[in-house]
Amino acid sequence: MTFRAALPIRGALKLAQAALGAIKRAIPPNERVPFLSEHSEAENAGTPVEEQAQSPALENAAPEIETAADAEREIEADSGQAAKTESELEYEAEEPVEDGFGPLGLSDPILKALHEKGYLRPTPIQAQAIPAVLMGRDVLGCAQTGTGKTAGFTLPMLDILSGSRARARMPRSLILEPTRELALQVAENFVLYGKHLKLNHALLIGGESMSDQKDALSKGVDVLIATPGRLIDLFERGGLLLTDVRVLVIDEADRMLDMGFIPDIERIVAMLPRKRQTLFFSATMAPEIRRLADAFLNNPKEITVSKPASVATTITAGLVLVNEHDKREALRRLIRSEDVQNALIFCNRKRDVDVLLKSLLKHGFSAGALHGDLAQSVRFATLEKFKANELRLLVCSDVAARGIDIGGLSHVFNFDVPHHCEDYVHRIGRTGRAGKEGRAFTIATPDDRLAVEAVEKLIAAPIPRIEIPGLDAVEWAEGDGRGRGRGRGGKPVAKGRDKPRSAPRAEPKEHEQPKAKEREPVKAERAPKPEGARERDRERPRRDEPRREREPRERDRGERSDRGGEHGPSVRGFGSDVPAFMLIRRRGPAQAVAEDNSEVEAPDVTPSDDGAHIAA
């Protein structure tokens, strides 16, 4: 680094001469002390020093005034240059641009855009990822949320793509994002960092017009930012080709795994050319994520700037333990007691988001809602209002927990303990970003004990407990009420609820037969049969004697007839009306048995029986 003088040397000398002249005028002539230079001048001129001291004042003052005036004019002329030099020195000392993004190998247009935005020093993951991407290597990056992973791949991609142009319907790079909001944020970063480059991008997300997206692709796209579902849908319709993709970015891979996008990711990767550069970024590194990285990457450079699933040191966390019916009151008291500028409130279910929003609006809070069931235009409008500080609170599901950067977010409230412990890191990571302080509070119920323990095990630190005045203090439950899920209204299901249900179901099966036996005589009383039919019924056991397989059933019928008692003998069969289908001979192995039965049953069929002529 080269340092320049704040003032020109010539101006400084003239200023010193003017000051010396002023001092000489202020001292009486008889008290002046001659300097060595004055002695030499007097000797060279042959004039005594006393005579020079007694010279007229105007003759001595005129050259001194002229010299002072020249010095002031020289200083004023050089003051602008001096001030500029001082500001440059101060700027270089505080924010060394050359020692920031410059040594990473980025081009001047990108450095200019970063300088205009105020980004002068790269984060650790950016400092390691940008040179590797510019070298053309695959990258496997793992860093906690809020560390600048997005700029770690957008900046070098802009530099790589600035050398050529794209063809119609054939994007040159592809970025896959799990949510629409995150895809929109990445698109905004490309516009911001590449405003001095002639590159264009397209955004493929659900909820937008597919015809407009096709028109954008037909003009040629350098950077394609998409969610997996819309990308596959448009590919199947013939809207784009992926054979020219040279750079693939899979962002928030762990979130892709949670949302079930991994099969879609594997299908998309199969459409891409084998010779490509793949960048793989994730906040956590589960075994499934490691398996995908091994399948997609070729000799990658692994970058880990912090341990997986770690919480930033700038975040102050707290845990509130209350009863289920006190959760909303606890949230309201926390919001009122804290200096909340803007805050995100996370719920596990979309239905709870709507219910909590109505409660907050009822109590006079400025709030909005954000979840996957809302229309895309409503989601974007709500998010923009929240970023513009038109809304103070934003109640949302985990759709806003990944990657969304909201500047200056002061608080995060977990109205529900997340089902997956990794989501806790992403939720509270929306605050405390870029070195700023943030606060995060989690509201738990006694049944959330195992979920909280899983979170504390993941972050390797306990969450401090805080008490809210005015609410009943509770302790953890012995078991985990979330194991059987939740019933209607978000209330936990009772622990022994399944067992009482199974017992009553078994009892009717045991006593079902006796109840049927008791009802049988009543049926006989309601439908009395003629005496002729009763006589035939008495004779039928004789006909059924050859059938050995029906003996238990006949024995059972005998028991029923004994129980008939006062109601008389029970009716067997169909009485005098025998259906025609019962007289049809059987086919197959049982044909011989059917023939014997028909011979025995023939005398019982009278010519007046309905269906006898049909059987013939």
Most confident of 96-100, 306-310, 395-399: 395-399
Using the structure block, give the residue that is written with the tokens 């949320």. Answer: 145
Is 284 in contact with 312 (CB distance < 8 Å)?
no
Q: Has residue 80 got a pLDDT over 70?
A: no
* Strand (E) or helix (H) holding 302: strand 301-304
Q: Which two tokens stand for residue 507?
A: 């009892």
pLDDT of residue 149: 87
Distance CA 181, CA 252 (A): 13
Q: Sheet holding 393-396: strands in order across?
A: 367-370, 393-396, 343-346, 411-414, 438-444, 315-321, 465-466
Q: Which of 123-127, 221-225, 342-346, 534-538 has the lowest mean pLDDT?
A: 534-538
Distance CA 95, CA 120 (A): 6
pLDDT of residue 154: 94
The CATH homologous superfamily of the domain defined by 102-304: P-loop containing nucleotide triphosphate hydrolases (3.40.50.300)
Phi, psi of 438 (to 5 degrees): -150, 160
Distance CA 613, CA 616 (A): 5
* Fold agreement between 102-304 and 315-490: yes
Q: For residue 196, what is the DSSP state? A: T
C-alpha closest to that of 97 among 1, 189, 193: 1
Cα dihedral 177→182→188→194 (10° resolution): -40
Confidence of residue 524 (pLDDT cuts 50, 70, 90): very low
Is 193 in contact with 155 (CB distance < 8 Å)?
yes
User: b/e for 85-101, b at 16 or more Cβ within 10 A?
Assistant: beeebeeeeeeeeeebb
pLDDT tens string 212-264: 999 999 999 999 999 999 999 999 999 999 999 999 999 988 888 888 898 99
pLDDT tens string 438-463: 999 999 999 999 999 999 998 889 99
C-alpha closest to that of 134 among 143, 126, 142: 126
Could you name the CATH architecture of 315-490? Answer: 3-Layer(aba) Sandwich (3.40)
Distance CA 264, CA 281 (A): 17
Q: What is the 3-state secondary structure (H, E, C) of 215-251?
A: HHHHCCCCEEEECHHHHHHHHHCCCCCCCCCCEEEEC
Phi, psi of 439 (to 5 degrees): -130, 140
pLDDT of residue 513: 47
Hey, where are the domains in the chain?
A: 9-94, 102-304, 315-490, 496-571, 577-616
DSSP codes joined into one string, 364-429: T--EEEE-TTS-HHHHHHHHHHHHTTS-SEEEE-GGGSSS---TT--EEEESS--SSHHHHHHHHT
pLDDT tens string 152-207: 999 999 999 987 888 888 999 999 999 888 898 899 999 999 999 989 999 999 88
Is 263 in contact with 229 (CB distance < 8 Å)?
no
Q: Which two tokens stand for residue 514?
A: 């006796």
The answer to whether the predicted template modeling score (pTM) of the entire model surpasses 0.85 is no
Average pLDDT over residues 321-327: 94
Total length of the chain? 616
If one compares 129 and 70, the residue with the highest pLDDT of the two is: 129
